[in-house]
Amino acid sequence: MIGLLSLLGCAGERPTTLGASDGQLGTCPDSPNCVSSFETRESHQIAPIRTSLSAIKEALTNLPEAEIISDEPPYLYAEFTSRLMGYVDDVEFLEDASTGLVHVRSASRLGHSDLGANRKRIEAIRAAVTP
Protein backbone atom coordinates (compact mmCIF):
# COMPACT_ATOMS: atom_id res chain seq x y z
CA MET A 1 0.00 0.00 0.00
CA ILE A 2 2.77 2.44 0.94
CA GLY A 3 4.58 1.62 -2.29
CA LEU A 4 1.44 2.36 -4.27
CA LEU A 5 0.95 5.70 -2.52
CA SER A 6 4.59 6.53 -3.16
CA LEU A 7 4.05 5.93 -6.86
CA LEU A 8 0.95 8.12 -6.88
CA GLY A 9 2.63 10.84 -4.88
CA CYS A 10 1.20 12.73 -1.95
CA ALA A 11 2.78 16.07 -2.65
CA GLY A 12 0.04 17.60 -4.75
CA GLU A 13 0.57 20.75 -6.77
CA ARG A 14 2.10 23.85 -5.20
CA PRO A 15 -0.76 26.35 -4.75
CA THR A 16 -0.72 29.40 -6.98
CA THR A 17 -2.30 31.51 -4.21
CA LEU A 18 0.77 31.63 -1.97
CA GLY A 19 2.39 34.90 -0.98
CA ALA A 20 1.43 38.15 0.67
CA SER A 21 -1.09 40.59 -0.69
CA ASP A 22 -1.91 43.94 0.89
CA GLY A 23 0.22 43.01 3.92
CA GLN A 24 -1.62 39.75 4.61
CA LEU A 25 -1.30 36.07 3.89
CA GLY A 26 -4.09 34.18 2.13
CA THR A 27 -7.18 32.90 3.87
CA CYS A 28 -7.72 29.30 4.89
CA PRO A 29 -10.18 27.05 3.06
CA ASP A 30 -13.22 25.75 4.96
CA SER A 31 -11.51 22.40 5.59
CA PRO A 32 -9.95 22.02 9.07
CA ASN A 33 -6.39 21.53 7.78
CA CYS A 34 -5.16 25.12 7.90
CA VAL A 35 -4.26 27.75 10.50
CA SER A 36 -3.46 31.42 9.98
CA SER A 37 -2.78 34.41 12.19
CA PHE A 38 -4.97 36.50 9.88
CA GLU A 39 -8.01 34.23 10.31
CA THR A 40 -10.99 35.32 12.38
CA ARG A 41 -12.64 31.89 12.46
CA GLU A 42 -11.72 30.27 15.77
CA SER A 43 -11.17 26.87 14.14
CA HIS A 44 -8.45 28.33 11.89
CA GLN A 45 -7.07 31.18 14.01
CA ILE A 46 -3.60 31.03 15.58
CA ALA A 47 -1.61 33.85 17.16
CA PRO A 48 1.32 35.39 15.28
CA ILE A 49 4.78 34.68 16.66
CA ARG A 50 6.63 37.40 18.57
CA THR A 51 10.03 37.04 16.93
CA SER A 52 11.96 37.98 13.80
CA LEU A 53 11.94 36.39 10.39
CA SER A 54 15.64 35.54 10.79
CA ALA A 55 14.85 33.57 13.96
CA ILE A 56 12.13 31.68 12.10
CA LYS A 57 14.56 30.89 9.28
CA GLU A 58 17.15 29.58 11.74
CA ALA A 59 14.54 27.37 13.42
CA LEU A 60 13.45 25.96 10.05
CA THR A 61 17.01 25.02 9.10
CA ASN A 62 17.03 22.70 12.13
CA LEU A 63 13.91 20.83 11.01
CA PRO A 64 14.69 17.99 8.56
CA GLU A 65 11.13 17.96 7.18
CA ALA A 66 11.31 21.67 6.23
CA GLU A 67 12.62 23.04 2.96
CA ILE A 68 12.79 26.81 2.51
CA ILE A 69 11.50 27.57 -0.98
CA SER A 70 11.36 31.37 -0.92
CA ASP A 71 13.20 33.76 1.38
CA GLU A 72 12.44 37.31 0.32
CA PRO A 73 11.97 39.42 3.48
CA PRO A 74 9.53 40.23 4.86
CA TYR A 75 8.16 36.94 3.41
CA LEU A 76 9.40 33.37 3.84
CA TYR A 77 7.80 30.24 2.38
CA ALA A 78 8.66 26.65 3.31
CA GLU A 79 7.35 23.22 2.40
CA PHE A 80 7.09 20.57 5.09
CA THR A 81 7.10 16.96 3.89
CA SER A 82 5.88 14.19 6.20
CA ARG A 83 8.38 11.38 6.59
CA LEU A 84 6.02 8.44 6.31
CA MET A 85 3.66 9.34 3.48
CA GLY A 86 5.35 12.28 1.80
CA TYR A 87 2.43 14.68 2.29
CA VAL A 88 3.42 18.31 1.72
CA ASP A 89 2.17 21.26 3.74
CA ASP A 90 2.71 24.88 2.73
CA VAL A 91 3.92 27.16 5.52
CA GLU A 92 4.22 30.91 5.09
CA PHE A 93 5.64 33.62 7.34
CA LEU A 94 5.19 37.38 6.98
CA GLU A 95 7.18 39.70 9.25
CA ASP A 96 5.70 42.92 10.58
CA ALA A 97 8.86 44.55 11.90
CA SER A 98 6.91 47.53 13.30
CA THR A 99 5.13 45.25 15.79
CA GLY A 100 7.81 42.59 16.27
CA LEU A 101 5.43 39.91 15.04
CA VAL A 102 5.70 37.26 12.36
CA HIS A 103 2.33 36.26 10.93
CA VAL A 104 1.89 32.64 9.90
CA ARG A 105 -0.18 30.43 7.65
CA SER A 106 0.21 26.65 7.56
CA ALA A 107 -1.99 24.52 5.30
CA SER A 108 -2.17 20.96 4.03
CA ARG A 109 -2.21 20.59 0.26
CA LEU A 110 -4.28 17.42 0.23
CA GLY A 111 -7.01 15.88 2.32
CA HIS A 112 -9.62 17.34 4.61
CA SER A 113 -8.39 16.94 8.18
CA ASP A 114 -4.79 17.09 9.33
CA LEU A 115 -5.52 15.92 12.90
CA GLY A 116 -4.10 19.23 14.15
CA ALA A 117 -0.70 18.83 12.48
CA ASN A 118 -0.52 22.39 11.13
CA ARG A 119 -1.41 23.94 14.51
CA LYS A 120 1.11 21.70 16.30
CA ARG A 121 3.81 22.65 13.78
CA ILE A 122 3.33 26.39 14.31
CA GLU A 123 3.28 25.96 18.09
CA ALA A 124 6.52 23.93 17.90
CA ILE A 125 8.16 26.68 15.82
CA ARG A 126 6.87 29.25 18.33
CA ALA A 127 8.45 27.26 21.17
CA ALA A 128 11.74 26.98 19.26
CA VAL A 129 12.08 30.76 18.81
CA THR A 130 10.67 31.92 22.15
CA PRO A 131 13.26 32.36 24.91
Residue 112 is assigned to a structural domain of this protein: yes
- Give the tens place of pLDDT for each residue, 5-44: 443 455 678 888 899 999 999 999 999 999 999 999 999 9
Task: Give CA–CA dist 63/56, Å, rounded.
Answer: 11
Residue range 75-85, pLDDT digits in tens: 999 999 988 77
Q: Residue 111: its pLDDT value, please?
A: 73
Is 31 inside a domain boundary?
A: no
Determine the structural domain holding residue 88 and report its residue range: 47-131
- Judge whether 61 lies within some domain: yes
pLDDT at 15: 87
- Would residue 126 count as lying in a domain? yes
Query: Mean per-residue pLDDT for 77-96?
Result: 92
Q: Which of 115, 20, 2 is nearest to 73 (CA)?
A: 20
Percent of the chain beyond pLDDT 70? Answer: 92
Nearest to 24 by CA among 42, 48, 41, 51: 48
The pTM of this model reads 0.88
- Condensed to tens digits (0 to 9), the pLDDT of residues 101-113 reads 999 999 999 777 7
Residue 79 lies in a domain: yes
Asked whether residue 110 is domain-assigned, the answer is yes
Query: How many domains are there within the chain?
Result: 1
- CATH number reported for the structural domain that contains residue 78 in this entry: 3.30.310.80
Tell me how far apart the alpha carbons of residues 71 and 93 are, in angstroms, rounded to a whole number: 10
Report if residue 125 sits inside a domain: yes
Q: Evaluate whether residue 12 is within a structural domain.
A: no
